[in-house]
Each structure stands twice: as structure tokens, then as C-alpha cells.
Amino acid sequence: MKLDLTNKLRMHDMFHVSWLRPYIEGKSPRSTLLPIVLAGEHEFVVEKHDFIKVSSKKTQLECLVRWQGYTDEHDTWEIMDSLHNCPEVVAKYKKEHKL
């Protein structure tokens, strides 16, 4: 879909339709994820005790994660082994799937 954007914006005017959402008057736009501080480090906390989806990409497992304090529109795909603040969730998944 091609958007009619002002020339002042430095961005491409073509987007796949799956990236677009309808505008609803009075609703705030999608907000940026903000981390919390855990042990002096900025971290995002996994909300659920299980992953929403898991996908095998090349040699790494990726999982769809719901973050604490955010809705499903903020879910992100993360490499499973990079999720250091939820080792129990990663271990549970690997044990259940014999990895």
C-alpha cells in the first residue's frame, strides 16, 4: 500500500498492508516497550509461564514472548537462548520437548 506522506518525513512511502492498523479516534498509538530495572540492569520480564509460539529458524529456536505489563500487540519474537531473565520458562520448554 502506498501512503500519501509529506516530503518532510524521511521514510519510505510503501508498506506491506500487514504493518498497518486502522486509526481509532481517542485511542493512543502503540507505545514503545519500556524495561524495568532488575539487579541494576534494564530488563523486560516475560509475563506468561509459557511461550506463546516457538519456531525453529536455522539452528536457533525463536519464541513469541508476551511481556509483563503489555498487551499482545507488543509480543515479540526472541531467540530462546537470549532470554536470561526467565530460565525456568526456557528449561520447562526444553524439558517438555526433550531438547
Q: Does a structural domain hold residue 13?
A: no
Q: Does a structural domain hold residue 1?
A: no
Beta strands in the chain (DSSP E): 36-38, 41-43, 53-57, 60-65, 76-79
Q: Does a structural domain hold residue 24?
A: no
Q: Phi and psi for 79 in degrees, rounded to 5?
A: -70, 125
In tens digits, what is the pLDDT along the chain, a chain of 99 residues? Answer: 677 777 776 777 777 778 777 766 555 555 555 666 666 666 767 776 667 677 777 778 888 888 887 788 888 888 888 888 888 888 888 888 887
Strands of the 76-79 sheet, one edge to the other: 53-57, 60-65, 76-79
Query: What pLDDT score was predicted for residue 66?
Result: 85
Number of domains, the chain: 1
CATH code, domain carrying 45: 2.40.50.40
Query: What pLDDT score was predicted for residue 76?
Result: 86
What range defines the domain where residue 93 resides? 39-99
Query: What pLDDT score was predicted for residue 33?
Result: 59
Q: Does a structural domain hold residue 12?
A: no
